[in-house]
Structure formats: structure tokens, C-alpha cells
Amino acid sequence: MDFLTLLQVLDSTVRLATPLLLACLAGLFSERAGIFDIGLEGKMLMAAFFSAAVASLTGSVWLGLLAGIAGSMVLSGIHGLASITFRGNQLISGVAINFLAAGLTVLIAQDWFSQGGRTPSLMGGGRFNAITLPFADTLSGVPILGPIYAELISGHSILVYVAFACVPLTWWILFRTRFGLRLRAVGEAPEAVDTAGVSVVGLRYAAVAICGLLCGIAGAYLATGLQAGFVKDMTAGRGYIALAALIFAKWRPWHALSACLLFGLLQAVALRYQNIDLGGVIIPVQVMDALPYILTVVILAGFVGKAIPPRAGGEPYVKER
């Protein structure tokens, strides 16, 4: 593989990893606070739709982003209501949210745009465009580093940079702030937080809201950054992959980055090298298609030990039965 190809594969990795990363961090906040969330997929989808819909109606991608975040946060609110206030089953709530988003997005899209559950294609200001970082062009002549800067680091939409900046930010919030301390505590031992005089419910809602926010950005990135509009079911299972990455990362921000980059890389490689010809034997496309998933299992079983979730995860906090 020559250098340029490598860069292109890595470039593709970054794009594919970004929505995973945002969703993964979203899940991290929620699950660190003890609220399991398999509804990442649904929230992303909802956000993808509302961001594209509002961007297309107003022509402003920023309003679209806000709408996407709002849509995702409404679902977060439902999840919070079910799993925090009414102490329901978090898995069921997540499943329901995925269904709800899959149905509602198409239903509303059809009602608003009558384009078969799609939004119109976004033009101009309705999309996040690639940002060229300063000096990218001038530096691109510099060997090795120049192309890396110009091709790989520069030239993504703003949300990509936001996503990557979220990693240190998440780490900092979790491990350097009061809020983070309490958030982690509430996912490990809510009764400790409660008896320390801090509201378990408040913290968990905050975590769920952050989760909604990040899923909102992830969805908006899909529909208005990577693409120019919403297509039904366009998240295509990325929420589940993000969940896998989260477990893979053992609920830690920097590891989440590595896990998402790894998934992105595996996909990028698989997309680029279909039908590999190994001296007469052609590896069928299906093998390459399944390769990221096979490798994930291999890596998980081979190199990553047991993942222990936050201790209070998945359990509603019940004081009186």
C-alpha cells in the first residue's frame, strides 16, 4: 500500500469513525451514570432527520444542527422518564426508542416533504462543508507531514473536529470536575451519591441529556456533514456498532477513541479492498464485508479482557420496594 493510499484509507477512517465516536461518547456519559442505552441508533436517526429537515426548510445548517439535537434530546427525555423516573427496564426503553425513531422519521418526512420518507437534498448553506485548515495548501508540499496535514487532518467538516475535541473534553469532565466525579459515582453506587446529599435523579437526567446532545451531533453529522439529506434508516446499525465500541473501550474516553478509529479503519479497509485477488483465488466481497465484524470478535476474544460495566448500570435506583 503506497503512502497516498494509506492516507486516503485513514481519511476515510476518520469520516467513518466520527459518527461512531460521537455516539460512543454519548453512550459513555449515559452508561457511566448507570443508564444503559441501546437507543443510540434511534437518537442518531432522529437527529439525522430533524437536522436535515430543518436545514432544508430554513437553509441554515446550524438551525438544522439545533433541531437535530432537540429531536435526539426528546428521545433522551423519554428514555430518562422511563428508566429514571419510572424505574422501567432500560433495555426495553432503548428498543422502543429505536423503533419509534425508525417509524417517526419516515412518517414525518412523508408528511412534510412527500418524498418517500426522504428530505430534499441539501444545498449550499444547508450542509456542513469541509474546512480547510490554515496553511494546508502551502504545507502540502512538505514530505510526509505535509500530505498528512493537508489530506488527513485538514478538510473535514467542523463536526469532525468537534467529535475529536469531545474526547479530551469528556475525559476532563469525567475525571477533573465535580460533575464528573458525581456522574461516575452515580453509575457505580447511586446510594452513595444519595446519602452524600446529591440528587441521583438530577445527575442521571443530566447524563442522559448529554447523551442526547452528542447523539444529536452524530446524527446531524451523518445527514448534513457526510451526506446532504436524510434517507430512511440511514444510520444503518451504527448505533449498535458504537455500543460495541463502548464496551470494547470499557467505558473510557480515550479507549473509545481508539475503538471507534479501529472500527472505522476496518470498515475503510473493507470498503476499499473488495474482491481481493490472491493469486487466482478471489476473496468474495462478502468476506470483506464481514471482515470488520470478524476481526472485532477476534480482537475482543484475543486481546481485550473482560469488560466490567459500571456497577449500578442497567438497574433503576430503588430505595423503597
Partner 1 sequence: DPALIYDLGGKFDKSFNEAAFNGATKWAEETGGTFKDIELQSEAQREQALRRFAEAGFNPIVTTGFSMSTPIASVAADYPDTKFVTIDGFVDPAEHPNVLSILFAEEQGSYLVGMLAAMASKTGTVSFVGGMDIPLIRKFACGYAQGVKAVNPDATVIANMTGTTPAAWNDPVKGSELTKAQISQGSDVVFAAAGGTGLGVLQTAADEGILSIGVDSNQNYLFPGKVLTSMLKRVDVATAEAMTAGADLETGVKALALAGDGVGYALDENNADLITADMQATVEEAKAKIIAGEITVHDYASDDSCPAISF
Partner 2 sequence: MDKMPAWADAVLVPLISLILAALLSALVIVAIGESPIEALKLMVEGALMRSTGWGYTLYYATNFIFTGLAVSVAFHAGLFNIGGEGQATLGGLGVALVCLYLPWPHWSLALIGASLGAAVFGALWALIPAYFQAKRGSHIVITTIMFNFIAAALLNYVLVNLLKPVGTMDPASALFPPATHLPTFQEMFSSPESPLFRGAPANISFFLALIACVVVWLLIWRTRLGYEIRALGHSESAARYAGISPVRIIIVTMLISGALSGLMAVNTTMGESERLLMNATEGAGFIGIAVALMGRNHPLGVLLAAILFGFLYQGGAELALWTNIPRELIVVIQALVILFTGALDNMVRIPLEKLFLAMRRGNT
Partner 3 sequence: MTDQAPAIELRGISKAFGPVQANKDISIRVMPGTIHGIIGENGAGKSTLMSILYGFYKADAGEVFIAGKKTEIPDSQAAINAGIGMVFQHFKLVQNFTVLENVILGAEEGRLLRPSLSKARGALKKLAEEYELSVDPDALVQDLSVGHQQRVEILKALYRQADILILDEPTGVLTPAEADHLFRILDNLRAEGKTIILITHKLREIMEITDTVSVMRRGEMTATVKTAETSPEALAELMVGRKVLLRVDKAPARPGAKLLEIENLRLTDETGVQRLRGISLDLRAGEVLGIAGVAGNGQSELLEVLGGYGTATGIVRVNGVEIPLSGTGCTGQARRAAGIGHVPEDRHHDGLILPYTAWENACFGYHRDPAFQKGILMNNAAIREDAKGKMERFDVRPPNPNLAARNFSGGNQQKIVLAREIEHNPDILLIGQPTRGVDIGAIEFIHQQIIRLRNQGKAILLVSVELDEIFSLSDRIAVMFDGQIMGFRDAAQTDQRELGLMMAGITQDPGGDPLAAIDATLAAKEAREAAQHG
Ligand X SMILES: Nc1ncnc2c1ncn2[C@@H]1O[C@H](COP(=O)(O)OP(=O)(O)OP(=O)(O)O)[C@@H](O)[C@H]1O
Q: Which residues bind ligand X (CB under 6 A)?
A: 319-321
In the bound complex, what is the minimum distance in angstroms from residue 188's beta carbon to partner 3? 5
Q: Enter the C-alpha cell of residue 45.
A: 436517526
Number of residues that bind partner 2 (CB under 8 A): 49
CA dihedral 253→254→255→256, nearest 10 degrees, is 50
Strand partners, 281: 278
Q: Which residue in the set 58, 60, 110, 227 belongs to the binding site for partner 2 (CB under 8 A)?
A: 110
d(CA 268, CA 317): 41
Should residue 59 be labelled a site residue for partner 3 when binding is judged by CB under 8 A?
A: no
Nearest to ligand X of 178, 321 (CB atom): 321
CB-CB contact of 27 with 242 (8 Å)? yes
Does 140 interact with partner 1 (rule: CB under 8 A)? no
What are the start-end ranges of the E strands in 18-132? 130-131
User: 278: part of which helix (H) or strand (E)?
Assistant: strand 277-278
- E strand map for 91-171: 130-131, 156-157
Nearer to partner 3, 141 or 197 (CB): 197
- List 87, 176, 272, 311, residue binding partner 2 (CB under 8 A): 87
CA atoms 231, 237, 242, 245: torsion sign = negative
Contact 160, 14 (CB under 8 A): yes
Q: How many CB atoms lie within 10 A of CB 82?
A: 21
The total number of residues written for the chain in this structure: 321
Among 151, 194, 233, 315, binds partner 3 (CB under 8 A): 194
Question: Which residues on adjacent β-strands are paired with residue 277?
Answer: 282
Q: Which is nearer to partner 2, 81 or 131 (CB)?
A: 81
**Range 232-271, binding partner 2 (CB under 8 A):** 237, 240-241, 243-244, 247-248
CA–CA dist 307, 245 (Å, integer): 11
List CB contacts of 246: < 8 A, sequence separation 6 or more. 24, 27, 28, 31, 256, 259
Q: Which helix (H) or strand (E) holds 281?
A: strand 281-282
Q: Which does 179 bind (CB under 5 to 8 A by kind): ligand X, partner 1, partner 2, none?
A: none
The one segment of 101-109, 118-126, 186-194, 199-207 that binds partner 2 by CB under 8 A: 101-109
Indicate whether 304 belongs to the interface with partner 3 (CB under 8 A). Answer: no
Kindly tell me the sign of the dihedral angle through the C-alpha atoms of 44, 45, 46, 51. Answer: positive
**Site residue total, partner 3 (CB under 8 A):** 25
Q: Report how far residue 316's alpha carbon sits from residue 149's, in angstroms, rounded to the nearest whole number.
A: 47
- Tell me, residue by residue from 196 to 225, as one string, x for binding to partner 3 by CB under 8 A and - for no binding: xxxx--------------------------
Q: Can you tell me which of 14, 16, 21, 24 binds partner 1, judged by CB under 8 A?
A: 16
* Binding-site member from 59, 77, 88, 125 for partner 2 (CB under 8 A): 88
- The residues that touch partner 3, with contacts defined as CB under 8 A, are 175-182, 184-185, 188-189, 191-199, 311, 319-321
Q: Which residues bind partner 1 (CB under 8 A)?
A: 4-5, 8, 12, 15-16, 19, 110, 115-118, 121, 222, 226-229, 231-234, 236-237, 267-268, 271-272, 274-275, 282, 284-286, 289-290
List of residues contacting partner 2 (CB under 8 A): 78, 81-83, 86-93, 95-100, 102-104, 106-107, 110-111, 117, 237, 240-241, 243-244, 247-248, 284, 286-287, 289-290, 293-294, 296-297, 300-302, 304-307
